[in-house]
Each structure stands twice: as structure tokens, then as C-alpha cells.
Structure 1
């Protein structure tokens, strides 16, 4: 954090009690000096959790809408609970839209890596194909300009990845990372910017960023407050989940780059904040079989995951995609992977059998089923 002073932050958080079918509200206190938390039951006006250490919770995780995990209980932060917290965090947690345009869709990995290196947080992400009407609505302010029709055609020519970014002065920070609108100008004035590296001109310029707080709110609402069909093919595919710890550690971009470098195609992508019941349901096949099952469930709902539908290049046999990708991901235990197959994803990015960076479909016949679970059943 930029400010080294220590503070107590107060939030209102909700937990869904599935046994009672009730939403319970708590006041959540976070002390950044020692990463401790305290909780009060609002309805019953009593202490619910005495102040205790919670190493899995970070200052960066505290924002409105965040799903957090405290001692295996998943809560959603719904509001600030005092004016101090509101004033301290409202600017630091500014939101903006980042959109990877069709011309840079093959550079999703490097662009996401740049975002994480800049200390911005990706709160939501989804790959979609814009319809003509959607593109026209999004760029309505440019309707009278001569480039409007060309822009709409370009934006509907392939998939885009929309992301909600959050951080201190996020709008200006992201625009600085992007560089000048015209990619040729960016190459001379800001050669390290995204548009300089990945853009072509002032239309095919790799990425979009909101230009004001009002635009940021309108544009993020456009993509994430209304339904948009995802790009999942749901055939000849397999499922890849970049797990919460890998996402929190800023490894998602590197993992995606490695996947593409190996010849695989990411045909759909979405960030999910899994509830515990969904994690248990998805991993049920491991229950009673793998001793780490409960820890695997806790990891999968401990923060945002990025789920990717994996398909292959034209040179790959589509029937072997699940098995081929599983080989590329490597053994479930990263220590074993590092000894036997050091170039695999888990060898490079995993810590242990639970925090092994990536989930992949184990059985070839389940590739489409696992992908459907996320992109047909859970996708918003």
C-alpha cells in the first residue's frame, strides 16, 4: 500500500446460511496492521467472531461486491460501514472498463500480465462477441463521426474481452498503460505502452479504456449488468481453471501466454466467484477419492477464478484435446511435476497439490461437461 499508516476498516458483509435459507448480515472489521478480522452479528447485536488472524484476506480484496473467505465461510461485502472506510477506499478502489479488441485477442495473456504488474485488480472479465446493435449502442457517442461505421464493423469482426479494473486512480492508470489512441503515435511517444506494442492504427489499437468516472460506470454496467452471450463452443474442448491463488498472485497472464504458446486456443474466458456449494458440486468426483478434497473446495471458492474453454489449433486432433491439454498441465503434485516434467504448467506455477495453479479435466469424456458447467450453467 502507498500509505504505511495502519487503519481499521469497517464493512457490511452478507453470508448465505444454506441450512436456514437465510442471508445473515455482519459488520466486518479488518485491521491492516496485523491482518486480523473481527465480526459482529448485526441482527442479534453480538460478537460473532473475536479478533483473529486471517492470512488469506488481503487489503486488495476489500471492496464493494468482493467475495471473501474467512475461516471457510464465504461472505460478500455489500457496503462500507463507516464514513472513514468510505473516504479512504472510494478513490483507491476506483473502477474502469478495459476491453481487449478483436485485433489483440491473441495477446490476452501478455495484456493481462501487464495489468497485474501495474497493480490494478481485475474484478470481472468475460470474452464475448459483440452484435452489431451492441457495438452501435456502446459507441453511440461517436455516431455522427466519419469513422463510426468502420469502428462498428471492426468491433464485431471477432471476440473481445471486457474487464472491470479496480485500483487507485484506475481510470488514469489504465489510460497511461494504453498509451495514445493512435498506435503509430504511441510507438513514438510511449513505446512501452499496450497500443505501441500490439496496436496497428487509431481504430485497431488493441484496447479500450474509459475516459472518466461516469464513462467507467456506464461502460462496466454495459458489459456486466446485462447479459451477453459468451463465446463458448462447447464441442471438441476441455476445461481449464486458473485457480484463485494463482489469480491473486498475478500469474493468470503468464499461464494464458503459456497455453497459447503451446498451440492451444482459448475459445471462451470468464472470471467466476464461486460459492462453496458450486465448488463442492464441481469437484464432487474427487470426494472420498482424493484426501485433499475439502482443501480443494476451499481453494476454489477462496477468490476469483478465471475459467477458460480450451480448443486446439487446426493441426490438433479435436478428439484428443482433453488428454493433450492434461499432459501439458502436468501431474497434480507440482513437486512431482518439477522432477518429471519441469515445463508443464503445474511445475512452473504450482506450490502444492491444492495450490497447483490450474485445474484441468482429468477424463477425456468430461471435457465438454466441465466446460458446460461454467459456460452454460453458471455463466451470467
Structure 2
């Protein structure tokens, strides 16, 4: 088939907050020139004529995923034709990655490993399991002599759970956890960027069936919310790794920088923030900061990773660590700050941090109590 004529089709839903209606569209993506087209299913008319939209990547398009097209957050619910289903859906899998309490400090490394393996994190959170919850998770091992040890490991502290999506994700993630053999020469050793985790630090789903069951345990699709987050709401501040940084694969590097600087991550959750919530969260900047509208758009463009950081004077210390809002200024004045290292402009400046210490608790509560409630 002529590459210029390749077109992928999807069915996607968008919640219209004005009309309080769920609207369905056929979404067409043309990889040759990164253009998109949308067709209104109910009204049987073109909603968006074919338009180049470089912000959308083919890897973002999968059933269950969320994409942002010109400030509309769409939920992809199905493939739109057999060609797309066969081409994109045949190898696409979901799996669970779980970092045990003694592996949580490797979160940054894991996020980088996931990115390098061409997998995507589509859901993520930090939880502290009770003995009963951990026993339920490992129920198939309850007759084994090591059952209590497994449960003890899982309840010793917070764990991080990730939903990973990608081609043959189950086997890819399992292989990343296998210990690698010692390199035979210096050249090969230089190509190895990190040691795999191993079962002592992490858990991987054994099969597609196991993955589906384990993902439902942590990210239930029913009314049940699953294990609760670990937010402390005390001596804490809010950090948001913005959508552009997540999509560029920078989340792992940013998390590693935060941990290396001595900050303690006490809670974490991935959010897909809709425009209404983004406007509400940034309301304090409305009419004050010229970039307010663009900030709202950026926060609602895709998934962001929200962290609660805990410690004495953490709001002020983390604000200093982020640096000036403008990355160009940050690179001149404070080149080792997060925005200097990972930001591109005043809107896409990698991270949001609480500007005023008195607002820190409100921002943490907004995400971990209201949006994650």
C-alpha cells in the first residue's frame, strides 16, 4: 500500500461539558503527514477537516487511550475499521508493573526503561497495601510456603503500580526484569545502561490473563476505587510533571533528579486533566499571568504525573529547585534547576510547583482528594 494513502481509523468519545453530552466521532489519522480528520457519528457530518496536527503521535493511538485534539480530550473506545485493528491492535497488550517497597526508589529508572522499551505508562499510582489486600493480590500463592514472605514484602511500605501498554507488553516487561548476564567485553558493557530490576524489587504479570486480573485489582473499572493513594497532606507540596515532559519521555529523568536532590515522594498518581479542571486548578493565575490560557491548554493536553513531596520547608525548597518559570532565564541564572534542564519555554517548563507555601496543601488536596476521590 502507498504510504501516503495509509489511514488509521478509530472511534473516540468526547464529553461536551456545555451540553453535558458524550459525543462520538470517527477519528482518522494519516501517519504520512501527521494529519487528523474527525467525523461526527450522530450528525453524520465532518467535524474537523483533514488538518496537520504534529502534537499527535501514532504510539498515542490505542483502544483505551486518551488523546487531545485541539483542546478536546478524546477517549479512544474502539478501532474504526478492520485494517486499523489488524495493523495496530494485533500486538498491543496491557500489563502491570509493580515496584515493591524496596524498589520504589528506582521509579525514575523504571520510567526510563519503559520509555526506552517503546512502552507507555497509561495509569500510575502509589498505594500502601493492607495485609488483606496483599493477600488477595497473591491469593494464587496462598498454599505455598513463601506466601507470608510475599505478603510481608508487599506491605512493608508504599508500592508503585503502573499500567503499561505497547506491542507484546507482557513479554517485554518480563524480559526487562530478568537479570542480565555479565558482559563479555568493554564495548558491550558500555551499551548496558542499567541493571534490570529482578523479582526482589518488582513484579511482572505472567500472562495476558494475569495482567487483566492484576490491573483490575489496582485500577478497577467498576465503582470500586481500589487501594487508596498514600498522600499525607502534612508538610507537603505539589509537583506536576507536565504533559509535554511526559510525552517526551522526560518523566524518569525528572523523577531521578528529584530523588537525587533529597526530596521524598510520599504520593504519586497519573492524571488526565480535562480543561475544566485545569482552569479550576490554575484559577489563581487568571488575569495575573499572561500565559494563563496556554498553561490551561498544556495541562489538559495529555497525561501528567503528579507527586506529593514531603518534608520540612518542602514547598520553599522545591520551588527553589524548580527554578525560574522561564527556562531560558533559569539556564542563565540557575542551570542545575529542573526547568533549566528539562523546560523549553514558560508554558512548557517541565514542571509545575506551588509558588506560595500557604497554597501547597490546597494543591495537593485538589489532586489527591478531589480528582482522585
Structure 1 and Structure 2 fold alike (TM over 0.5): yes
1:214 to 209, 214, 217: 209
- The answer to whether the Cα contact below 8 Å between 2:269 and 2:305 also exists between their aligned partners in 1 is yes
1:328 to 309, 321, 326: 321
Query: Which residue of structure 2 lines up, in the alignment, with residue 77 of structure 1?
Result: 76
In the alignment, structure 2 segments of 5+ residues that lack a partner are none
Equivalent residues, number: 361
| 1: CA distance, partners of 2:264 / 2:131 | 25
| 2: CA distance, partners of 1:69 / 1:369 | 27
- Structure 1, residues 212-251: CA drift from partner, whole Å, max 9, x if none? 1111111111110142210000110000000001001111
Cα 1:217–1:193 change in 2 (3 A) is farther
- Structure 1, residues 40-90: CA drift from partner, whole Å, max 9, x if none? 111111111111111111111111222211112222111112122112222
- The answer to whether the Cα contact below 8 Å between 1:121 and 1:166 also exists between their aligned partners in 2 is yes
- The answer to whether the Cα contact below 8 Å between 2:237 and 2:364 also exists between their aligned partners in 1 is yes
- Structure 1, residues 77-131: CA drift from partner, whole Å, max 9, x if none? 1111212211222234211100111111111111211111221110100000111
- The answer to whether the Cα contact below 8 Å between 2:236 and 2:309 also exists between their aligned partners in 1 is yes
TM value normalised by structure 1: 0.91
SS for the counterpart of 1:174 is helix
Cα 1:147–1:189 change in 2 (3 A) is farther
Aligned residue runs from structure 1 range 58-137, under 5 A: 58-137=57-136
- Structure 1, residues 329-351: CA drift from partner, whole Å, max 9, x if none? 00000000000000000000000
SS for the counterpart of 1:369 is helix
The list of structure 1 runs, each at least 4 consecutive aligned residues, that deviate by more than 2 angstroms after superposition, is: 4-7, 186-194, 196-199
| 2: CA distance, partners of 1:216 / 1:62 | 21
| 1: CA distance, partners of 2:59 / 2:101 | 30
Tell me whether 243-252 or 60-69 shows the greater mean CA deviation: 60-69
Query: Which residue of structure 2 lines up, in the alignment, with residue 245 of structure 1?
Result: 244
| 2: CA distance, partners of 1:123 / 1:170 | 12
Query: Which residue of structure 2 lines up, in the alignment, with residue 19 of structure 1?
Result: 18
| 1: CA distance, partners of 2:111 / 2:301 | 21
In the alignment, structure 1 segments of 5+ residues that lack a partner are 181-185, 313-317
- The answer to whether the Cα contact below 8 Å between 2:177 and 2:196 also exists between their aligned partners in 1 is no
Cα 1:197–1:89 change in 2 (3 A) is closer
TM value normalised by structure 2: 0.93
1:305 aligns with 2:304: yes
1:369 to 339, 353, 362: 362
- The answer to whether the Cα contact below 8 Å between 1:65 and 1:77 also exists between their aligned partners in 2 is yes
1:157 aligns with 2:156: yes
Query: Which residue of structure 2 lines up, in the alignment, with residue 342 of structure 1?
Result: 335
